Amino acid sequence: MTIKAPRKKTPVSMQFRDDDLTTIDRGAQLLGLSRTEFMRRAAPHEAQTAIPERNRFSTLLGHRNAVGSSGEGFQR
């Protein structure tokens, strides 16, 4: 049996430009969410999107560095 520890909630304070806040509020309204809940969902979603993209980029750079400046293996 696994016992889960309660998740710690950490307050985060952010400042937005008025036009960005208007966009955030509109998105939240369309989904029937509060601004807080909208941001709570949006931030992890963006992070989950960025992490695999960064990993693919690092892998690509690793392949490029393995080939070296000669470009061997990529010549026609």
Look up residue 3 and give its amino acid. Answer: I
Supply the angle between the helices 35-67 and 18-31 in degrees, to the nearest 10.
110
Tokens describing residue 59: 């892998």
pLDDT number for residue 58: 67
- In the chain, where the domains are located: 36-64
Tens digits of per-residue pLDDT, 6-56?
778 889 899 999 999 999 999 999 999 999 999 999 999 998 888 887 666
Tokens describing residue 62: 């690793």
- Rg of the chain (C-alpha set): 21
pLDDT number for residue 60: 65
